[in-house]
Amino acid sequence: MTHLLLTATVTPSEQNSSREPGWETAMAKDILGEAGLHFDELNKLRVLDPEVTQQTIELKEECKDFVDKIGQFQKIVGGLIELVDQLAKEAENEKMKAIGARNLLKSIAKQREAQQQQLQALIAEKKMQLER
């Protein structure tokens, strides 16, 4: 364990001069501040500067809000993707129905053509029979 020894040299003239109350505390805070140690609002000794600590707390809160918003965004996008997938399936089903209907119409048209040719052949055959 490393111990930090803080010393301050005070000249006799500085000891005898009139000082404000709490000058020792201010001096100790300055010395600790130079060593990278600070007191918080509860007078607890901290390694980080109180301003940096506050900024860190604010950044942490902003990050949490950002993560929450990203989560909401992902839910919305997930719902949108599901909706688009559902619409794509419905569109594919309708497309298949349309292709089926078109093929049915083509087959009906071919059947009519074949039936018409059969009827024309039958008419031609009947005409031949009448001519005999």
Q: pLDDT digit string (tens) for 25-46?
A: 666 666 766 666 777 667 776 7
pLDDT at 90 > cutoff 60: yes
CA distance to 58, 93, 105, 109, 113, per residue, from 102 (Å): 65, 14, 5, 11, 17
- Reported confidence tier of residue 3, pLDDT bands at 50, 70, 90: very low
Average per-residue pLDDT in the chain? 82
